[in-house]
Chains A and B, each alone.
Chain A
């Protein structure tokens, strides 16, 4: 039996100070970095949303100009997708996937650090556009030829380069997760014993690996059209504007599932714990997730039902879209099935998990109405669509990630989030969310198009818009409760212990927070929900019965000899990522000549320095 202390790790990891964060390659710390970044950018995107809602509170709003509004809604979309929801998913995946499969880190810890820093610097580059040259103003979909039309300013160069680099960061972490999950599971952790959250990580990683290259090509074409006079999307030169829409949505639709599937994974972890029952229909939940992933690649053109593809293609994509309702429905029924017959308690994570089901259902149903092609031609690009995807991505994804935050915060910090503040957060957010987005269904059906900086009086839209604005402020207030909760609970919250929820999966078997090496001893897995079965058996009626210490015995672990090898810290991932981001900044300003090229060259040099240093660095320092 290996008794492990930090001396055995071969180095003494510094755990304090800025330097330790800069050089960290620990998946847990990188997870925390993702989480903190996502929260900061969530505040940015939230302020953008509030400005949008204030502008639209009344007819003919004059708070911001049309030009500012167009940048605000574009940046709100880009920020929420790429800088909030994707990284908060990455935060949970980074922190918990290795813990849940009984691994000590991800497969490529330095690549992991590189992905994080590249993500961070890319968002910084994108956000710096507010101060340097103007922000993207062509909507997050960046439809050509609008996105290639005005080359006098660099706004859409920020878009093409920023999204490109964010894609590289996601690609790196997706490859990392696939490699980690397929090669580093603890003994006995077969694929069909993995927690659902890990399964959903597999699915989203593959979605990104296959879809990001497609938009990568498209974004370079935009960049070439803008800066080098290429004519990919120029209709007058036999280019095709609709080509961009296809490339964008072949990425963009799977991306929607990238945003929601990890949240579905979280729900599938939270519901069993607070129902005190295993997930209902494990295999069906897993395979419905995989089915959603596959179908997600075959429905992109339902974003283009008004573009003029012709009725045969429209019929095909409409039917394929309807099919997605089947695995999605299966998931919802299985979640309710999990609760059915359980002993439900309702701490904050459970509230948000149930909120997810209730709200996501509405988004799912309005999604089916989009598949009805003729009806879609009324809904498309109207506020009805805005309502739909906020029910999916806020009522669904954000509720799910908040559930995850309340659920796993004790594992991160060793302290529980405050339950009373959590209740306030939930109910204010639930109310505010519905007040904001339910009226938008009506607005859309009553003819209000999205992406409009103002609307006239006498359209019958005033009341619904005002309600929506009030709701947005309620959501903002609810998150003040959350942020306050995080601050006070981090300092003074109730001590959690290893397993505050009496949970089911392996991350709860180690300390809170876990040691650098996660597990002193790698567990040998015998069941799905192995940790639960270390604690509970079943009587002849199938009811859970707590095992006595004698019955439980010692958990089965891998006999290890020698010390635990953990990779050593490195700042080269950060240097390389910074180099790539500077290179990107150079590309943004390439059309301005010397300055652009100078920045580009500087970026290239830094990137090279980072990569050479990275390659030449010894894997571990010191001895073990």
Chain B
């Protein structure tokens, strides 16, 4: 009894107010895994209690007592017992194996019917998300970074690959992790519970990928149907090229420096839509609409953003000195030595680009 309480405490201790917990499942897939985990946990816990109890019993019962000098019987073994305790684990494992296999094949089955496709591309040390079925007038897919929006209640299938080294996409409350491997595609299905609409859930890279692996985080926003549509429409739109004020000055700096690595889809006052810059870093078209910067490591506030532009490596470890643009190797954002005014102008621009 006490043991069961202990086990329940172990599980309970893990389920309150945890933004990134596998024990707090919020999707069909994570719930399937969690049910399997519960089964295995309690079986394992039972084995633990029985075997440790036998061990403790042996320690207490068969300890040599003072004055007892008799030698024990020299038992060499017992074949029947050996067979019994070889078979018991087989039975226990069979009980575990069956739901393991059914759940495994279920989870790995490709998404069917009506589902949303999302492309996930891992980069050192940020996430690129593209929606190949959500296109603008020129056929360009919705592209964003570090903040994934998924419709609650419907299935999304993530097609994942990497631009550099191996990463792993992990949102414990929504799905088991899946590695993001250069040169191949891995797939992950996520069907968030309808009740999660409006929630934000945290995830992060789970495969060690170098210097800032710990800071390769992301946020998943679960939207109701209309919210998701509103969000996609907003994200598909181009951002305006500012014509006056600090934003316009910021735009000058942006096109001189930032577009070396960052891309943005902009609309001139004359109404022409243009994609400027190189797609080596996160797309910044709607940067102002994001809640975080630096791949989920800080909230997107004016101070944090200014700090980041001033000296990126002070916020997040990076090694921009190892960037090799020709080879497409980007290992961080350089410190361009901008003065306070230039920084303020850039911040104004980026905050305008909601």
Partner of B40, one of A282, A283, A368: A368
B194 within 8 A of A: no
CB distance from B174 to the nearest CB of A (A): 11
Contact B37 A149 (CB under 8 A): no
Which residue of B has the minimal Cβ distance to A375? B37
Q: Which residues of A contact B182 (CB under 8 A)?
A: 145, 235-236, 241
Contact A445 B58 (CB under 8 A): no
Known: A442-B10, A446-B22. A143 touches B73 (CB 8 A): no
Contact B62 A284 (CB under 8 A): no
Which residue of B has the minimal Cβ distance to A377? B176
Q: Which residues of B contact A342 (CB under 8 A)?
A: 62, 72
The stretch from A307-315, A488-496, A605-613 touching chain B is A307-315
Known: A276-B71, A447-B172. A340 touches B62 (CB 8 A): yes
Contact A277 B75 (CB under 8 A): yes
Q: Which residues of B contact A447 (CB under 8 A)?
A: 18-22, 170, 172-173, 202, 204
Contact B177 A339 (CB under 8 A): no
Contact A67 B211 (CB under 8 A): yes
What sequence of 0s and 1s flags, for each residue 184-206 of chain B, a beta carbon within 8 Å of any chain A beta carbon? 10100000000000000010111
Contact B54 A277 (CB under 8 A): no
The stretch from A127-135, A212-220, A539-547, A615-623 touching chain B is A539-547
Contact B183 A311 (CB under 8 A): no
**Whole-angstrom distance between the alpha carbons of A436 and B55 in the complex?**
23
Which residue of A has the minimal Cβ distance to B165? A146
Contact A284 B77 (CB under 8 A): yes
**Whole-angstrom distance between the alpha carbons of A340 and B55 in the complex?**
9
Q: Which residues of B contact A452 (CB under 8 A)?
A: 213-214
**Whole-angstrom distance between the alpha carbons of A428 and B350 in the complex?**
55
A306 within 8 A of B: yes
Instruction: Kindly identify, within residues 75 to 126 of chain B, every residue whose CB is under 8 Å from any CB belonging to chain A.
Output: 75-78, 81-82, 85-86, 88-90, 93, 96-97, 100-101, 103-105, 107-108
Q: Which residues of A contact B100 (CB under 8 A)?
A: 318, 371-374
Contact A449 B206 (CB under 8 A): yes
Partner of B89, one of A325, A340, A362: A325
Contact B77 A281 (CB under 8 A): yes
CB distance from A394 to the nearest CB of B (A): 18
A329 within 8 A of B: yes
A366 within 8 A of B: yes
**Whole-angstrom distance between the alpha carbons of A323 and B90 in the complex?**
8
Which residue of A has the minimal Cβ distance to B161? A235
The stretch from A262-270, A294-302, A378-386, A572-580 touching chain B is A378-386
A458 within 8 A of B: yes
Contact B86 A330 (CB under 8 A): yes
A460 within 8 A of B: yes
B36 within 8 A of A: yes
Contact A445 B36 (CB under 8 A): no
Contact A543 B71 (CB under 8 A): yes
Known: A336-B55, A339-B58, A366-B44. A377 touches B36 (CB 8 A): no
Which residue of B has the minimal Cβ distance to A357? B55
B23 within 8 A of A: yes
**Whole-angstrom distance between the alpha carbons of A240 and B166 in the complex?**
11
A498 within 8 A of B: no
**Whole-angstrom distance between the alpha carbons of A146 and B213 in the complex?**
11
What sequence of 0s and 1s flags, for each residue 69-111 of chain A, a beta carbon within 8 Å of any chain B beta carbon? 0100000000000000000000000000000000000000000
Partner of A372, one of B40, B75, B178, B209: B40
Which residue of A has the minimal Cβ distance to B84? A333
Contact A322 B96 (CB under 8 A): yes
Contact B78 A354 (CB under 8 A): no
Q: Which residues of B contact A124 (CB under 8 A)?
A: none
Contact B37 A280 (CB under 8 A): no
The stretch from A343-351, A397-405, A408-416, A468-476 touching chain B is A343-351
Contact A378 B33 (CB under 8 A): yes
Contact A315 B52 (CB under 8 A): no
Tell which of A138, A280, A343, A538 has the most Cβ of chain B within 10 Å: A343
Which residue of B has the minimal Cβ distance to A272? B74
Which residue of B has the minimal Cβ distance to A278? B76
Instruction: Kindly identify, within residues 35 to 81 of chain B, every residue whose CB is under 8 Å from any CB belonging to chain A.
Output: 36-37, 40-41, 44, 47-48, 51-52, 54-55, 58-59, 62-64, 68, 70-78, 81
Partner of A143, one of B32, B88, B101, B166: B166
Partner of B172, one of A67, A325, A378: A378
B270 within 8 A of A: no
A20 within 8 A of B: no
Instruction: Kindly identify, within residues 472 to 530 of chain A, every residue whose CB is under 8 Å from any CB belonging to chain B.
Output: none
**Whole-angstrom distance between the alpha carbons of A311 and B208 in the complex?**
24
Q: Which residues of B contact A311 (CB under 8 A)?
A: 104-105, 108
A369 within 8 A of B: yes
B288 within 8 A of A: no
Contact B52 A339 (CB under 8 A): no
A453 within 8 A of B: yes
Contact A322 B104 (CB under 8 A): no
A332 within 8 A of B: yes
CB distance from B15 to the nearest CB of A (A): 9
A275 within 8 A of B: yes
Q: Which residues of A contact B168 (CB under 8 A)?
A: 306, 380-381
Partner of B13, one of A143, A240, A326, A442: A442
B320 within 8 A of A: no
CB distance from B69 to the nearest CB of A (A): 9
Tell which of A276, A322, A378 has the most Cβ of chain B within 10 Å: A378
B17 within 8 A of A: yes
CB distance from A543 to the nearest CB of B (A): 5
Known: A280-B75, A361-B52, A381-B168. A152 touches B322 (CB 8 A): yes
Contact B20 A146 (CB under 8 A): no
Contact B97 A319 (CB under 8 A): yes
Contact A150 B72 (CB under 8 A): no
Which residue of A has the minimal Cβ distance to B20? A447
CB distance from A148 to the nearest CB of B (A): 9
**Whole-angstrom distance between the alpha carbons of A18 and B86 in the complex?**
52
Q: Which residues of A contact B214 (CB under 8 A)?
A: 66, 449, 451-455
Q: Which residues of B contact A357 (CB under 8 A)?
A: 55
Contact A382 B47 (CB under 8 A): no
Contact B183 A240 (CB under 8 A): yes
Partner of B32, one of A319, A333, A374, A546: A374
Q: Which residues of B contact A374 (CB under 8 A)?
A: 32-33, 36, 100, 103-104, 107, 176
Partner of B20, one of A238, A333, A446: A446
A337 within 8 A of B: yes
Known: A340-B58, A342-B62, A374-B32. A361 touches B48 (CB 8 A): yes
Q: Which residues of A contact B247 (CB under 8 A)?
A: none
A139 within 8 A of B: yes
**Whole-angstrom distance between the alpha carbons of A204 and B26 in the complex?**
45
A179 within 8 A of B: no
Contact B166 A146 (CB under 8 A): yes
Contact B166 A375 (CB under 8 A): no
**Whole-angstrom distance between the alpha carbons of A238 and B182 in the complex?**
10
> Across chains A and B, which 8 residue pairs bring their CB atoms closest together, nearest first?
A377-B176, A235-B183, A447-B20, A452-B214, A544-B71, A281-B77, A66-B317, A308-B186
A/B interface sample: 12 pairs, CB < 8 A = A306-B207, A311-B104, A330-B85, A334-B82, A341-B72, A365-B47, A368-B40, A382-B206, A447-B20, A447-B172, A453-B213, A536-B71
19 A-B pairs besides A311-B104, A341-B62, A374-B36 with CB distance below 8 A are A150-B322, A235-B183, A280-B76, A284-B77, A307-B186, A311-B105, A315-B105, A329-B85, A330-B86, A336-B54, A343-B63, A344-B58, A344-B59, A374-B103, A375-B37, A445-B22, A446-B22, A449-B214, A543-B73
Name A's B-contacting residues (CB within 8 A). 65-67, 70, 137-139, 143, 145-146, 149-150, 152, 235-236, 238-242, 275-278, 280-284, 306-308, 310-311, 314-315, 318-319, 322-323, 325-326, 329-330, 332-334, 336-337, 339-346, 354, 357-358, 361-362, 365-366, 368-369, 371-378, 380-382, 442, 445-456, 458-460, 536, 538, 541-546
